[in-house]
Amino acid sequence: MAKAQTILLAGGGTGGHLYPGVSVAEALRELNPAIKPVFLCTTRDIDRTILGNTGFDFIPQPIVPPVKTVAGLIRFWKSWRETLELVQQLLSSDQPFAVLGLGGYAAGVAVKLAARKKVPAAILNQDVIPGKANRYLLKYVNEVFCQFEETRSQVPSAHWSKLLVTGCPIRRDIRSMPTRESAAARLSLDLKLNTLVVTGASQGAQTVNEAVLATLSTLRHQGWQVLHLAGKEHASTVQARYAEHAIAARVVDFTPAMADVFAVADLVVARSGASTCAELTACGLPSILMPYPFHKDMHQRANAKVLEDAGAAIILNDEKDAAKNSEKMRPVLELLLFGDAKRRAMADASRRLGKPDAADQVASSLAKYLSVDP
């Protein structure tokens, strides 16, 4: 039997960081059963929730995000030192053939230290605009796997040769897609109705929830049902609001079974995180996108603009106010709920943008670093 060869995948804290990493790990394991993916994640509950169901090994890192206070910086420095010691130990004991950064503060230590020790290092860059961690790590890595060609305009030309536009890796179950019938049965949905899916990603989005609730409470929606992924903190309130307005809705706080969700979707209202954009386009779904409004660089809006420019989505800027958001959403939602031709055209445009084989492309590129004689 071939000796196991480890690859470290560093990052976490959100589904947007972890799910692409899980997709790459699955593709690597299928490519070569001797490959052993090990995740270096955060201590957040979402990491355990997501990774605990995958069968992959995962090790929470002590690292915490930097906070610009004296106490916050001291805490970050201490966690950075502890994480450095952990990664040094793993690089020595596991001797990984490569390290893949998944984005965010939890990727930095492992990617930088690997590069310094001449271990091949790469990063996933799922958003059009690279985040702070990825910008910092550009000079250390061999390759940058990008979802969008538009990222090239956001990166210094000295690093262009490292960019590979592969798309954002999505989970294999979404790529294979269950039947609408089986998915509807598992989700307890009426197969005879169209389905509006509302999602604020893994942790929910209160302003998205409020905008949709305010809009649907005054909008006819015959022939439609709602599947609303509300987030753990908001699910009970959202459920009560739907019941108050007698709207046919299935509300869940969180589900890892997004393949079922997308299999029943006819229209999606969502944030425009990188993974969401990748999954929507791989599944060929029309969408109303409300980019997260609290990021300084507004990187979710840059993601959404790629879809809107292609005719796959309509952007509604989040005004952080339910009444204002509902006023803008109402005509758009009404147009798409009852405009079958418009939805079909958007779905076709979405499908043309999709890169469902991104995980395989990333895995193949990383596999070239495998030891010839394991």
Q: Exposed, middle or buried by CB within 10 Å (0-12, 13-18, 19+), for 185?
A: middle
Residue numbers in the chain where pLDDT is lower than 70: 1-2, 201-204, 372-374
What the chain holds in terms of domains, given with CATH numbers, is: 5-170+356-367 (3.40.50.2000), 173-353 (3.40.50.2000)
Strands of 224-229's sheet, edge to edge?
249-252, 224-229, 194-199, 267-270, 287-289, 313-315
- So what's the pLDDT on residue 216? 93
Q: What is the pLDDT of residues 117-149, one digit of tens each?
A: 999 999 999 999 999 999 999 999 999 999 999
pLDDT digits (tens, 9 = 90+) for 146-190: 999 999 999 999 999 999 999 999 988 898 899 999 999 999 999
Helix (H) or strand (E) holding 89: helix 70-94
Entry pTM: 0.88
pLDDT of residue 41: 97
Tell me the β-bridge partners of 269. Answer: 198, 288
Quick one: pLDDT at residue 294? 83
**Of 30, 60, 67, nearest to 45 (Cα)?**
60
HSE value, Cβ hemisphere, 13 Å, CA-based, for 257 = 13
Tokens at 361, concatenated: 């492309």
Phi, psi of 25 (to 5 degrees): -60, -40
